Amino acid sequence: MTLDPQPLTPALAAAEEAGWTTVRLDLDGVRSKTGLMRRCGDALRVPEYFGGNWDALADALRDLSWLPDADPPGRLLVVTSWRAFAAVRPDDWDTLREVLEEAVDFWREGDGPGLTVLVAEPPRREPTAGR
């Protein structure tokens, strides 16, 4: 799902107001799988033993116990600035989307707080006329 920045801001505010844990995964400048894993680890604030591979990311998204609020009513993960990464690493982008979808399904089937993932991108800048 792609959102404009205007709906994204209220979505984040509503989630935070409802007591949800919110995490922003900004992929601006990420051009490799290693960079992606590093950015995911930083955004999710995973423990130091995070393996930096797809299995480790999937495991991290199924645990989430180290996030600041141990038992929030919900969790929102917002992925931003992803288009350039998807263009440079389409296979890794597809795998990331699968891992995120599986994590959402995992939390949907559980008894605890859920996980919602929003994939957002700022609008493209239009060229200025006359320049």
Q: Starting at the edge strand that comes first in sequence, how are the strands of the sheet with 74-80 ordered?
A: 21-26, 74-80, 114-119
* Rounded Cα gap, residues 34 and 52, in angstroms: 7
pTM: 0.84
More confident residue, 34 or 7: 34
What percentage of residues in the chain have a pLDDT greater than 70? 85
- Residue 96, CA distances (Å) to 16, 54, 77, 103, 128 in order: 25, 8, 13, 11, 35
38-73: pLDDT as tens digits:
999 999 999 888 999 999 999 999 988 877 776 789
Question: What average pLDDT does range 16-25 have in this prediction?
Answer: 92
pLDDT, mean over the chain:
86
* Residue 128: pLDDT over 50: yes
| Ramachandran region, residue 100 (left: φ > 0; alpha: ψ -120 to 50; beta: rest) | alpha
Q: Token digits for 108?
A: 């949907």
Question: What average pLDDT does range 123-129 have in this prediction?
Answer: 53
